[in-house]
Structure 1
């Protein structure tokens, strides 16, 4: 097990009023999520200040700060949403009353913070415009209350892993972040054996990836494969379900036997060098599997990097996966139908489309591109079966179909060869819901509807 660094300072906590907090020089760390506070959040904060301005103090929240030994600038690990909003309020007040002596102090972060995330930029602009519309609510008394009586608890930590432990525990008990954000915090904490520059490089792909795409990849692909392949429901991915992506730490010197083969793979591949020097796809990489247990730390971020690329390819119907030389083949006809299907916008059809993509992703993850011309039609006719049978396709309908003991996903889980998958037999549908004639004609053509 990793030895504790006795030189690390213990976390310190102090209560700062807003004026003192704003006078600190903070940096928003590169791995932070975008600024997502809405106008409603800002409005609620201002209303709370007005409501509680007669009190001796008003506690706004906690801000967790990481400060390395060699760093003069402190990094915000948690609390950036409120902190940035407070900066916006100060900026608007200062512009409205430039001669007000209460506002006459330096705010270093105001000129030093830079944003390149489109979500952050849009929300900052919208919230600042709203704050400007409310500056007239701030009389002399409210400005003084805002600066001197509104308080933060500032926790300063010198170990990045410990900082993220605070972040993880706070957010899993308070206002929930998206589950994948909590997973990021957990797996960063599992990388205490690495120096900070290495951590930044390892999570670079994650930070460059659209947060909405990551949310979708986890909730609608990775999580569904993990659960459906074992017969569990996968309707909703919440913070209560993130344990399915927490696994083993290979630095543990008491690994169970099942994890030793993974440790051997890790040593053979040399994942650390692969991630840090960004080997291209022709290089050998760690054999992650979507239905296997998670290896913690840098391995998790490598898993997300490789599997995210697969999700992108699966969702793009112009990808090479779907290019077939034989335009008379059943596979080509299926993909062409999905590309031209006029009812694909409906919620129920989206559920079936996702089931098709999830199942195909699972198959390719396990067997590669072998027999795709035969497998794609099989997956299509199985995945869209609820759409043909039911008038209204609900999330629960698709969830039950996917995790049924005789589902195609369960068969892929149990199969050792592609031929074992291809023996799956689809029973003809005897009752038609009558809400998808375009697809029903294709089922009829291939004798999958019994009249």
Structure 2
């Protein structure tokens, strides 16, 4: 690519570039483990340690050339802490450090994770380099430290070269890459900061009545989109999340409202889309908290879906199209949770998978209501048959759950169906 250049620079030369860490980058996540490794790599080198690649996007701001750091911010930020700790520790090293005054001078971190890690790592480095002779020797080695620099004038090319891991660091998650892809396309600084803070707020969210970014992307948006398109994928949705939500070659504006299947070229479009479904998801959780407390919420492996995830997919899709999702809570839960009684694979939202696609393509709410009635009848018949088989076997967890199903689950949250009497005959 003609617009891409590569070179090997010492840290001393690297600092001559006007480096900037964009707001769309993920937080500073390095902890003491990664910091110690970097310090040891530099300290143990003889002729300058090679600390991996730095990927830069060359751009112009107010007629000034800026190099935005696409990959390498964790290492470069840690080195900034090394310089600050050395300067604050030793006045005699002030002259040596003056040439680095402009290195990352305008970088700010508003994320609490960044602030906590910066504080902890700074204190550790300050103690590590408390001896002046050791600090001076360390800084001389730092100057000789080398980086492989890949610079491009096109942001898209920068993401092509983007490594999924920082040097000896933490793996970038799919939601980090999605955030970076869409934020880098926003040119208005106020808008960029708004969405960066919004996304990071979702990343930190731990309240049970509010979805976080992992839930929204990997337990709702990505699986729902794939299932509607006919995919058979059941887990590891993070592997395909970036390709599903990030497009580079879309032109113009779509004439159709594709709902949850919408594609986006521009970052602002993506964040509006994300916010729309986040608000619906949050609203359903808050309004139906009393209903949900009776539902069995199984724990599942990281990256896998559970029964409740499938249940919420159906509710959010229904609410986004027809409103009044509360009306289908009983019948929907009756169906989605039925397989819990019938199969060993209780964490998988099997019954929800087909409903997700049906709800998306339905034109009227009455279509969905009719389908739920039909499927509810079928689930009831399957449970009656299973009940006879299970009772003949040794008592186990599934048997106990089935014994209490009508007493607890149906009586409290599910409408009494017209076929209840049949069960008691």
Q: Same fold judged by TM-score > 0.5?
A: yes
CA distance in 2, matches of 1:264, 1:342: 40
Tell whether the 8 Å contact from 1:66 to 1:75 is kept in structure 2 after alignment: yes
Partner SS state of residue 419, structure 1: helix
In the other structure, the counterpart of 1:297 is 265
Figure out how many residues of one structure are paired with residues of the other and give that number: 377
- Of 365, 370, 373 in structure 2, the residue corresponding to residue 418 of structure 1 is 365
In the other structure, the counterpart of 1:208 is 198
Tell whether the 8 Å contact from 1:18 to 1:151 is kept in structure 2 after alignment: yes
CA distance in 2, matches of 1:373, 1:246: 33
How far residue 85 of structure 1 moved from its aligned partner, in angstroms, is 0.8
In the other structure, the counterpart of 1:117 is 111
Residues 114 and 413 of structure 1, relative CA distance in 2, 3 Å threshold:
closer
How far residue 248 of structure 1 moved from its aligned partner, in angstroms, is 7.9
Tell whether the 8 Å contact from 2:19 to 2:68 is kept in structure 1 after alignment: yes
Tell whether the 8 Å contact from 1:49 to 1:146 is kept in structure 2 after alignment: yes
In the other structure, the counterpart of 1:130 is 124
Residues 264 and 353 of structure 1, relative CA distance in 2, 3 Å threshold:
closer
Tell whether the 8 Å contact from 2:55 to 2:162 is kept in structure 1 after alignment: no
- For 1:48-447, what aligned pairs fall within 5 Å after superposition? 48-51=41-44, 53-68=45-60, 70-71=63-64, 73-100=66-93, 102-109=96-103, 111-135=105-129, 138=134, 140-147=136-143, 149-157=144-152, 159=153, 162-172=154-164, 176-186=171-181, 197-198=187-188, 201=191, 204-209=194-199, 210-212=201-203, 213-229=212-228, 230-246=230-246, 249-251=249-251, 263-265=254-256, 287-290=257-260, 292=261, 294-298=262-266, 301-317=268-284, 319=286, 322=288, 336-339=290-293, 341=294, 347=299, 351-365=306-320, 367-370=321-324, 372-389=325-342, 393-394=346-347, 397-398=348-349, 400-403=350-353, 407-423=354-370, 424=372, 425-426=375-376, 427-428=379-380, 429=383, 430-431=386-387, 432-434=398-400, 441-445=407-411, 446=416
In the other structure, the counterpart of 1:257 is none
> What does the per-residue CA deviation read over 1:43-67, in whole Å, with 9 as the maximum and x for residues that have no partner?
222222234x124552443141433
Tell whether the 8 Å contact from 2:175 to 2:214 is kept in structure 1 after alignment: yes
**Does residue 15 of structure 2 align to residue 26 of structure 1?**
no
Tell whether the 8 Å contact from 1:50 to 1:142 is kept in structure 2 after alignment: yes
Tell whether the 8 Å contact from 1:63 to 1:152 is kept in structure 2 after alignment: no
Partner SS state of residue 166, structure 1: helix
Residues 226 and 392 of structure 1, relative CA distance in 2, 3 Å threshold:
closer
Residues 239 and 173 of structure 1, relative CA distance in 2, 3 Å threshold:
farther
CA distance in 2, matches of 1:24, 1:98: 26
How far residue 24 of structure 1 moved from its aligned partner, in angstroms, is 4.5
Partner SS state of residue 132, structure 1: helix
How far residue 127 of structure 1 moved from its aligned partner, in angstroms, is 1.7
Partner SS state of residue 235, structure 2: coil
Partner SS state of residue 356, structure 1: helix
Structural RMSD (CA)? 3.7
How far residue 402 of structure 1 moved from its aligned partner, in angstroms, is 3.7
CA distance in 2, matches of 1:438, 1:23: 71
Residues 154 and 92 of structure 1, relative CA distance in 2, 3 Å threshold:
same
CA distance in 1, matches of 2:108, 2:193: 20
Residues 54 and 343 of structure 1, relative CA distance in 2, 3 Å threshold:
same
How far residue 247 of structure 1 moved from its aligned partner, in angstroms, is 5.3
Q: Which residues of structure 1 form unaligned runs of 5+?
A: 1-8, 253-261, 266-286, 323-334
Partner SS state of residue 171, structure 1: coil
Residues 181 and 437 of structure 1, relative CA distance in 2, 3 Å threshold:
farther
Residues 438 and 117 of structure 1, relative CA distance in 2, 3 Å threshold:
farther
Residues 318 and 374 of structure 1, relative CA distance in 2, 3 Å threshold:
closer
In the other structure, the counterpart of 1:39 is 32
Residues 127 and 306 of structure 1, relative CA distance in 2, 3 Å threshold:
same
Residues 84 and 173 of structure 1, relative CA distance in 2, 3 Å threshold:
closer
Residues 202 and 55 of structure 1, relative CA distance in 2, 3 Å threshold:
closer
CA distance in 1, matches of 2:213, 2:139: 40
Residues 134 and 312 of structure 1, relative CA distance in 2, 3 Å threshold:
farther
Residues 50 and 401 of structure 1, relative CA distance in 2, 3 Å threshold:
farther
CA distance in 2, matches of 1:354, 1:115: 33
CA distance in 2, matches of 1:409, 1:416: 14
Partner SS state of residue 400, structure 2: coil
Partner SS state of residue 54, structure 2: strand
Partner SS state of residue 382, structure 1: helix
CA distance in 2, matches of 1:247, 1:20: 35
Tell whether the 8 Å contact from 2:250 to 2:265 is kept in structure 1 after alignment: no
